[in-house]
Amino acid sequence: MAEKNRISGVVDRIEGGMVVVVIRAPDDPDSTREIYVPRSKFKQVELQEGDHVSVLI
């Protein structure tokens, strides 16, 4: 099974049950990527735009 990496990012927006997190691209540190994570995967209940979070990819 592939090993998961923990990456820090910033909450860009919350759309319904999905949280859009902006991270630095692992293969190109000069660019960013948006990843969509279900809100249920976060321990913090009150997420807002601009919050720093860490995600497993």
**In whole angstroms, what is the distance from residue 41 CA to residue 31 CA?**
25
pLDDT of residue 1: 61
**What domains can you pick out in the chain, each with its CATH number?**
6-56 (2.40.50)
pLDDT of residue 5: 85
What pTM was estimated for this model as a whole?
0.84
Distance of alpha carbon 56 from the chain centroid: 8
pLDDT in tens, 1-57: 678 888 999 999 999 899 999 999 878 889 999 999 999 998 877 899 999 999 988
pLDDT of residue 39: 92
